[in-house]
Amino acid sequence: MKICVAVFFGGKSTEHEISCISANQVIHALDPEKYDVLPVYISKDNDLYTGEKLFDLANYSSFIADPSSVLDKIMIFKDGNAVKMRYLRNMFKKDRQIDVAFPVVHGTNVEDGSLAGYLQMLDLPYTSCDVLGGSLGQDKAAMKDIFKAEGIPMVNFFVVFGSDFEERSDEYLAQAKKLSFPLIAKPANLGSSIGIEVIRTQKEFKEKINECLKYDFKVIVEEMVKDLKEVNIAVMGNDEEVKVSAIEEVTNGFLDFDKKYQSGGGKKGAKAAGSKAPSKGMASTARKVPADVTAKQKTTIEETAVKAFKALNSYGCVRIDFMIDRKTGKVYCNEINTIPGSLAFYLWKEVGISFEEECDMLISYALQRYAKRMKKTYSFSTNILDNYKKK
């Protein structure tokens, strides 16, 4: 019997549309001989839908604003030891059993551990990081604290809390003065370069931090790498084995949202909506693979990436992004993406792992983790409640 793989995507996140592109790539990479693919679309209102239309990206722009008109609303529930999907508006369609979940979501309210928590409550095996891994990967402040504890190289930084910024702004400015300008300020929980500000002088500090605070409760302030080379590496594995991919060099400079996903130019989403073939998504970013790095830098990046993967409780396929100062050659770890765009398939391809094989590996890791978890003890027999019986 084929394994039913539910590919989850969308969600209440600024990266909703990018997730649709990445998920569509996964849907088409899963081997139909081995898997029954069930696309599960999480709308911007957090409702769940499925439907044939989800197999073709060309349909997406027509339903994102109002999915209920085109797609089937569903619920997912536990039924004994099985997990099932039920059509909510069509009683004649039969329930379907789901064997494994394949989250392809980016950003807040999904990738940050929220979806992992939902899947864990359902007792469903899933291919991505667990709650802790997902949430550490989303919150740049928590992530950096762990990197610091592990001695992972980073640019100097500090965290501004929105709750006390007004009353303590002088103290925060004093912290900023200890770093060398220009500085970068970024909301702790966003992605895709949204809300990032460059602080060129001390005078700009307050205004730029307030800009970032429009997006988040916490802001990371850090030294800017002026002569920047950006390189990324993917890491795939579980608690036993960890593999590293080729290293890519991102060649279109400061990646803002449009540049990152629309390197062909044009309107946002035009590529996704306009063509029948799966859009290239993150795979279309201008890049050089392998990156132009020295042998020493390559080793540092690979070793640091594995260390970061383990330190952040990662699982499945993640991408770890680095910044290199071209002047000094120093390598700094920037961030982790726990479910990277396009699942970084273009980096695995370079080390001989096809997208199909990558998906197979992720599903097998998920099933192994689930089997291991089932062997752990999560209940404890006790008579403590007897003390509360009516005497």
- Please report, as ranges, the residues that interact with ligand ADP according to CB under 6 A: 155, 184, 186, 190-193, 196, 222, 224-225, 228, 230, 254-255, 321, 323, 334-335
Minimum Å distance from CB 186 to ligand ADP?
6
Q: Which is nearer to ligand ADP, 53 or 229 (CB)?
A: 229
Minimum Å distance from CB 247 to ligand ADP?
15
Q: Contact at 8 Å (CB) between 211 and 195?
A: yes
Minimum Å distance from CB 205 to ligand ADP?
16
What would the 3-class secondary structure string for 315-338 be? CEEEEEEEEEECCCCCEEEEEEEC
Minimum Å distance from CB 226 to ligand ADP?
7
Minimum Å distance from CB 7 to ligand ADP?
23
Phi/psi of residue 70, each to 5°? Answer: -120, -30
Q: Contact at 8 Å (CB) between 34 and 2?
A: yes
Q: Which is nearer to ligand ADP, 230 or 358 (CB)?
A: 230
Minimum Å distance from CB 191 to ligand ADP?
4
Provide CB contacts within 8 A for 139, sequence distance 6+: 112, 188, 189, 218
Minimum Å distance from CB 239 to ligand ADP?
26
Q: Which is nearer to ligand ADP, 72 or 216 (CB)?
A: 216
Identify the three-state secondary structure at position 173: helix
Q: Which is nearer to ligand ADP, 128 or 189 (CB)?
A: 189
Q: Which is nearer to ligand ADP, 155 or 212 (CB)?
A: 155
> What is d(CA 41, CA 12) in angstroms, rounded to the nearest whole number?
11
> What is d(CA 329, CA 223) in angstroms, rounded to the nearest whole number?
16
Q: Contact at 8 Å (CB) between 135 and 379?
A: no
Provide CB contacts within 8 A for 334, sequence distance 6+: 154, 230, 321, 322, 323
> What is d(CA 232, CA 301) in angstroms, rounded to the nearest whole number?
9
Q: Which is nearer to ligand ADP, 145 or 166 (CB)?
A: 145
Q: Which is nearer to ligand ADP, 192 or 314 (CB)?
A: 192
Rg, the chain, Cα only: 22
Phi/psi of residue 56, each to 5°? Answer: -125, 115
